[in-house]
């Protein structure tokens, strides 16, 4: 996937976790939520429908795997996940990406969406190691 370029917005708001067969996996830089972002490593994608059938199936498999990893991140942070939210919005950053967010009934945005709720609570450098390690272990990456 040589022509793939990650939108700079992802670099500014997330941390690389791993590469799966299709997607780059990133930890969203908001410590209030166990939150991974999957970005298919193919150039110029905006919509899921632009993936061929095999890649759409692969994306779904990676979303399910990311859900397991989000639960592991939540456990590492002491934030048990009550519900997984999955969304491919792209209203702000058009590059195709899928958010997999672990939600809990006591999180700051519950039951509403996390987007635009309030400013992110970014991870400290020291706090990044545990959630990234948990995600990598769950992803087998």
Q: What is the pTM of this model?
A: 0.97
Helix (H, G, I), strand (E, B) or coil at 55: helix
**pLDDT per residue as tens digits for the range 31-84:** 999 999 999 999 999 999 999 999 999 999 999 999 999 999 999 999 999 999
Assess contact for 61 and 104: CB atoms under 8 A. no
- Name the residue among 68, 73, 88, 95 with its Cα closest to residue 6: 95
| pLDDT 10s digits, 81-133 | 999 999 999 999 999 999 999 999 999 999 999 988 999 999 999 999 999 99
Residue 6 has which token pair?
A: 């990650």
**Beta-carbon contacts of residue 73 (< 8 Å; ≥ 6 apart):** 27, 34, 35, 36, 102, 131, 134, 135, 138
């Amino acid at each position: 996937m040589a022509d793939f370029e990650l939108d700079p917005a992802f670099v500014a708001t997330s941390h690389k976790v791993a590469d799966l067969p299709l997607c780059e996996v990133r930890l969203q830089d908001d410590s209030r939520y166990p939150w991974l972002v999957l970005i298919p490593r193919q150039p110029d994608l905006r919509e899921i429908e632009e993936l061929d059938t095999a890649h759409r199936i692969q994306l779904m498999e990676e979303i399910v795997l990311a859900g397991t990893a989000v639960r592991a991140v939540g456990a590492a942070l002491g934030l048990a996940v009550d519900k997984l939210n999955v969304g491919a919005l792209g209203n702000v950053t058009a590059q195709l990406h899928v958010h997999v967010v672990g939600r809990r009934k006591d999180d700051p945005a519950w039951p509403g969406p996390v987007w635009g709720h309030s400013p992110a609570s970014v991870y400290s450098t020291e706090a990044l190691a545990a959630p990234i390690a948990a995600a990598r272990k769950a992803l087998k990456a």
